[in-house]
Amino acid sequence: MRKFVSDKSCRKLLHRSFQNLTQHLHLQHHHHQHKGPLSSVSQSRFLSSSYSSMAPIPSSNPSAPPVTLDNINPKVLKCEYAVRGEIVTLAQRLQQELQVKPGSLPFDEILYCNIGNPQSLGQQPITFFREVLALCDHPAILDKSETQGLFSADAIERAWQILDQIPGRATGAYSHSQGIKGLRDTIAAGIEARDGFPADPNDIFLTDGASPAVHMMMQLLIRSEKDGILCPIPQYPLYSASIDLHGGTLVPYYLNEATGWGLEVSSLKKQLEAAKSQGITVRALVVINPGNPTGQVLGEENQREIVEFCRKEGLVLLADEVYQENVYVPEKTFHSFKKVSRSMGYGEADICLVSFQSVSKGYYGECGKRGGYMEISGFSPEVREQIYKVSSVNLCSNISGQILASLVMSPPKVGDESYDSYCGEKEGILSSLARRAKTLEDALNKLEGVSCNKAEGAMYLFPRIELPQKAIKAAEAVNSAPDAFYCRRLLNETGIVVVPGSGFGQVPGTWHFRCTILPQEDKIPAVVSRLTDFHKLFMDEFRD
């Protein structure tokens, strides 16, 4: 039998980790510590043999399932995520029905307008990006002669550059927890070029899409239900879901539909005060710009007011800027909140700022790659270390997503072989999105009782429907929110999938739905005519 070191000075030095492991629980083990650690081990062995010969333990009932809705984490139970909720489950069921019994439904395909997932509806990826990804996945072909014929010269060159930034060129290795340093350098340079202000690669945390970055910040900031996060209403339900999962309180502020979903600092101020008077400590303000689900693009003056508000109130500004490339109207331009705050003269010491970016949106729409980053600024070294620690528990984000995030922040440049085709693909997608947005917006505004704001940016329309009382009563009768009732009917009769406004939040007593602008252009006439016909029949059926 081995000897164990067990004198007193040694036991005093028990490492903090171990103390953490056991501090909640005074184990029997410790009561026996004066006999030396082996005593408990020997005792275990004794219990082992007696246990084997014991009758089934009567203390619990093996027939009762150990996990039920009554004993799971209530935060999980509470959380909702409408974008993949009830209506989508119904859509999946109808799609299966169409496959099994074609012709059994009043439509021949499901048109998914529920989620910002462009490539699922036929949008093609940017060729240059995919070339680089393929070459980084299989670098063995980089110096083969056939590769020259299959891939553009600048994609081959870029793949070499990227591989040289990865220690050992190992695209199959875990990276630094914040992401590969060379890729963060590229992203920082892209941010600098975009904003005209310096960006530090050490401020970049690469993540599997923007969602994990949002969760990370919520996890950092929320201590209990007494901590609040100011969120727009309507909002992208990732925020409400994440706040619920982390046990905080969503403090809503209403975007003003009458001014094109304007963000009014007075509303922020009012809700902040209301929250404070309820004993809520508001930690952060979420701003989604361009807006999801509302599609508005904030003006620079408005952004300055928001920065000023956060600075004065000591709030972290969580800026969801994933739609930064999706602006469709000439009178609006995307400005990052970092650029705005720096242009006001505010630096690291003045404001805590987090900008979320993703490869899933923009003209690239690479949702399946799960790439993205957050750029943090204004946090102390100690707090940054905590953010680093949390990101290190999951080791790192996927390397293809990291590479893609660097590519979208540093696409081909004038003179590169791919430049013209890249520009053609990009402009083709963005101009088509702008046309689709306009067509759908116009069609929606023609419907009885429907008003739809201008889609300035992002990928969504969020029309308001004035539903007749009879429809509201019919919804009530089946225990449904009126907008969900409308959306379910729309799906069942046309195959069009949209998300009820109640999934995003809306001013009480108003009803909306979110509809993406993503069906391919040749499908748009069908969307418009099915939606128009359905709406007319629906209103005829329920008109008061």
Contacts 24+ apart (CB under 8 A), 93-97: 94/491, 94/492, 94/495
**Tokens at 437, concatenated:** 């947005």
Which three-class secondary structure state does DSSP give residue 121? helix
In this chain, which stretch among 146-154, 288-296, 329-337, 405-413 interacts with a second copy, using CB under 8 A?
146-154
**Nearest CB to a second copy, comparing residues 51 and 196:** 51
**Closest-CA residue to 405 (of 148, 210, 258):** 210
Contacts of residue 68, defined as CB under 8 A and 6 or more positions apart, other chains included, come to none
353-to-269, 280, 307, 406 alpha-carbon distances in Å: 19, 21, 9, 21
Residue 318's SS3 state is strand
Shortest CB 148 distance to a second copy, Å: 9
Please state the closest distance from residue 321 (CB atom) to a second copy, in A: 18
Contacts of 510 (CB under 8 A, 6+ apart): 257, 464, 501
Which C-beta is closer to a second copy: that of 89 or that of 529? 89
Exactly one of 153, 395, 423, 537 binds a second copy (CB under 8 A); which one?
395
For residue 478, state whether it binds a second copy (rule: CB under 8 A).
no
The residue behind tokens 């693009």 is 297
Binding positions for a second copy, 342-361, rule CB under 8 A: 350, 352, 360
Kindly state whether residue 477 participates in binding a second copy, applying the rule CB under 8 A: no
Instruction: Find the part of the chain contacting a second copy (CB under 8 A) among 6-14, 290-298, 323-331, 405-413.
Output: 6-14
Torsion of CA 467, 471, 476, 478, to 10 degrees: -130
Site for a second copy contains 49 (CB under 8 A): yes
Site for a second copy contains 153 (CB under 8 A):
no
The window from 53-61, 98-106, 410-418, 525-533 that contacts a second copy (CB under 8 A) reads 53-61
> Of 172-180, 188-196, 426-434, 534-542, which segment contacts a second copy by CB under 8 A?
172-180
Stretch that binds a second copy, among 98-106, 238-246, 286-294, 522-530 (CB under 8 A): 238-246
Work out which of 363, 379, 462, 486 binds a second copy, going by CB under 8 A. 379
Closest C-alpha among 537, 510, 340, 326 to residue 433: 326
Under rule CB under 8 A, residue 483 binds a second copy: yes
- Torsion sign (Cα): 176, 179, 184, 186: positive
Q: Closest CB to a second copy among 192 and 394?
A: 394
How many residues form the binding site for a second copy (CB under 8 A)? 197
For residue 180, the Cα-to-chain-centroid distance in whole angstroms is 22
Binds a second copy by CB under 8 A, chosen from 14, 153, 193, 537: 14
* 93 lies in the binding site for a second copy (CB under 8 A): no
**Binding span for a second copy by CB under 8 A among 36-44, 416-424, 454-462, 535-543:** 36-44
**Which of 90, 98, 107, 117 is in the footprint of a second copy by CB under 8 A?**
117
Give yes or no for residue 131 binding a second copy (CB under 8 A). yes
Residue 506 touching a second copy (CB under 8 A): yes
Q: What are phi and psi of 499, to 5 degrees?
A: -110, 130
User: Measured on CA atoms in the order 444, 449, 453, 457, is the torsion positive or negative?
Assistant: negative
Length of the chain: 544
Q: Which of 35, 93, 389, 470 binds a second copy (CB under 8 A)?
A: 389
Q: Does 193 bind a second copy (CB under 8 A)?
A: no
- Report the site for a second copy in 202-221 (rule: CB under 8 A): 208-209, 211-212, 215, 219-221
Instruction: List binders of a second copy among 240-279 (CB under 8 A).
Output: 240-242, 244-246, 249-252, 254, 256-258, 264-267, 269-271, 274-275, 278
Comparing CA positions, the residue from 273, 280, 223 lying closest to residue 250 is 280
> Looking only at residues 295 through 334 of this chain, which bind a second copy when binding is defined by CB under 8 A?
305, 311-316
Token pair, residue 242, equals 């994440």
Any contact of residue 454 with a second copy (CB under 8 A)?
no
Answer for which of 76, 153, 193, 537 binds a second copy (CB under 8 A) is 76
96: contact with a second copy by CB under 8 A: no
Task: Look up residue 412 and give its two tokens.
Answer: 């081909």
182 makes contact with a second copy (CB under 8 A): no
In 3D, which of 36, 40, 45 has the Cα closest to residue 5? 36
Q: How far is the CB of 290 from a second copy (least distance, A)?
A: 19
Residue whose tokens read 């800027």: 321
Taking CB under 8 A as the criterion, the residue among 472, 497, 524, 539 binding a second copy is: 472
Helix (H) or strand (E) segment spanning residue 219: helix 210-221
Dist CA 139 CA 390 (whole Å)? 31
514-533 residues in contact with a second copy (CB under 8 A) are none
| Bridge partner residues of 282 (DSSP) | 228
The CA distances from residue 448 to 464, 467, 498, 533, in Å, are: 11, 10, 18, 11
Q: Pattern of binders to a second copy over 421-440, x per CB under 8 A?
A: --------------------
Q: Is 382 in the site for a second copy (CB under 8 A)?
A: yes
Handedness of CA 229, 340, 434, 129 (dihedral sign): negative
By C-beta, is 150 or 423 nearer to a second copy?
Answer: 150
Distance, CA of 358 to CA of 319 (rounded, Å): 12
Structure tokens at 507: 């001013």
> Contacting a second copy (CB under 8 A), which of 80, 185, 417, 493?
80
Residue closer to a second copy, measured from CB, 42 or 529:
42
**19 phi/psi in degrees, rounded to 5:** -60, -40
